[in-house]
Amino acid sequence: MRGVDVAIIGAGAAGLSAARELSVAGVSVAVVEGRDRIGGRIFTRRDPRVPVPVELGAEFVHGAAPEVGRVARAAGLAVLDLCGGRFEPRGGRLAPLDGYLQRVDRVMRKLAAEFVQGFHAADLERISARSLAEGGSPGQDPTESLLGRVAGGYDRVPEWLARGIGPSIHLSTTVERVEWEPGGVALLVRSSVDGRASVVDARAAIVTVPIGVLNAAAGEPGAITFSPDVGPIHRASARLAMGAVARIAFWFTELPWDARGVELAAGETTASLAFLQTHAADFPVWWSAHPARVPFAVAWSGGPPAAALSGLPLDEARGRALRGLAGALGISPRTVERRVVDAWTHDWQADPFSRGAYSYARVGGSTAGRSLARPVARTLFFAGEATDTHGRTGTVDGAIASGRRAAGQVLRALRV
């Protein structure tokens, strides 16, 4: 690979938004991506039998999400806000869960386990209460309570960000080592196609790999060694951790909550069911594709229960999800199982390029994101959801914003 102005590690939302900003400003870039696809933790699959996108990573647009909104407008994408109801089993019947987000907010403030783990994917023993208080919950602002989806699939966002810079993106190329000095960087990379090593030379680098990768020990798959070591960055990243998420997407012949034998509270219908809080141990939350009327649903687990599911064969994990759902619906597991046509998942915890779902601040780590966002010798710049400083860590919106912030820092450093 030839030398460029700026080398960018990672073709997720952060890396692509940085690359786009720099290209528009006339700066040459090389984006080096370990996987054989762009998007990172945005991972959309499509199946000819299923009329909605199958999201295996990010699915929702949280709150106002100005960065996602900007991309959506420019790319001609619609964000559809969820309007359905939230239910839970109560007294043997499915009943509406009133004021769900307000309840999340209240419960989060008390750090009650189920909701906090579900929302932040965090381990309660380790999460920083300060970072939760500063940015973690939807609060009273109605805009912040909005929850939408990108119609057509979340991958349309990275696709648009990558438009026009395709030749600068090098897939299946893992960065193993970053050698740097003020004003110069050499990335030592290896192709996962033929195992060949090569070098990318640049004046500066933007590193957008997840915290799980930054914190991985040297020699682990995907881990990056910096030479010389970047002490402040590693001290900051060690104050953050990756939360675990397990999610399984199901295509059914009929939604299980529409099966005979499921009792509903008086006057209720499942036609508007968007979320179901089952309180099951492994997968306490399910959601439908509402407002799309299709028999598609997702089982969700966050925090230590999700970490415990990592490495399980899909059949075992899906069996647990379906048994938990059957228990909440008051019907037999066989009745639920019989309705399954197919299921999809991705093990983010075992994936060497993510090593978890998204970042959270450990106790004492509430300012670590800010430290990561500080340039190193005007040569190394760090971006990615974990470096967001506006309460949007763990989101696509925060990742895009961080990429744009890093691109601005680079432009100032290179005085372009």
Ligand X SMILES: Cc1cc2nc3c(=O)[nH]c(=O)nc-3n(C[C@H](O)[C@H](O)[C@H](O)COP(=O)(O)OP(=O)(O)OC[C@H]3O[C@@H](n4cnc5c(N)ncnc54)[C@H](O)[C@@H]3O)c2cc1C
Nearer to ligand X, 27 or 211 (CB): 211
Phi-psi region of 261 (alpha: psi -120 to 50; beta: other; left: phi over 0): left
Footprint on residues 227-246 left by ligand X (CB under 6 A): 245
Contact 282/290 with Cβ under 8 angstroms? no
Between 87 and 353, CB nearer to ligand X? 353
Instruction: Select 105 or 351, whichever has its Cβ closest to ligand X.
Output: 351
In this structure, what token pair is assigned to residue 40?
Answer: 């990172």
3-state SS assignment for residue 74: helix
Show the DSSP H helices in 42-175 as ranges: 66-75, 100-109, 113-120, 129-135, 156-162
Q: Of the candidates 296, 379, 384, 401, which one interacts with ligand X according to CB under 6 A?
A: 384
User: What is the DSSP code string of 162-208?
Assistant: HTT-GGGEE-SEEEEEEEEETTEEEEEEEETTT--EEEEEEEEEEE-
One residue of 8, 31, 32, 72 binding ligand X per CB under 6 A: 32
Q: Nearer to ligand X by C-beta: 157 or 273?
A: 157
Closest to ligand X by CB, 202 or 329: 202
Nearest one of 257, 314, 278, 290 to 84, comparing CA atoms? 290
Binder among 22, 29, 34, 409 for ligand X (CB under 6 A): 34
Nearest 5°: the CA angle 328, 330, 331 is 115
Instruction: Give, for 242, the enclosing helix (H) or strand (E).
Output: strand 240-243
Number of H helices, E strands in the chain: 13, 22
Instruction: Establish if 15 lies at the interface with ligand X (CB under 6 A).
Output: yes
Q: Is residue 10 part of the contact set for ligand X (CB under 6 A)?
A: yes
Q: How far is the CB of 261 from ligand X (least distance, A)?
A: 31
Among 35-43, 228-236, 272-280, 321-329, the segment contacting ligand X (CB under 6 A): 35-43
| Segment interacting with ligand X, rule: CB under 6 A, options 27-35, 87-95, 196-204, 367-375 | 27-35
41 binds ligand X (CB under 6 A): yes
For ligand X, what does the binding mask look like between residues 316 and 355, x meaning CB under 6 A? Answer: --------------------------------x----xx-
Under the criterion CB under 6 A, does residue 18 sit at the interface with ligand X? no
Least distance (Å) between residue 364 CB and ligand X: 22
Are the beta carbons of 212 and 41 closer than 8 angstroms? no
- H or E segment and range at residue 409: helix 396-414
Backbone angles phi, psi at 118, to 5 degrees: -65, -40
Is 168 near ligand X (CB under 6 A)? no
Q: Which of 8, 13, 307, 321 binds ligand X (CB under 6 A)?
A: 13
* Residue 338 identity: R
Q: Which residues bind ligand X (CB under 6 A)?
A: 9-15, 32-35, 40-42, 57-60, 62, 174-175, 208-210, 213, 222, 224, 245, 247, 348, 353-354, 357-358, 384-385, 394-397, 399
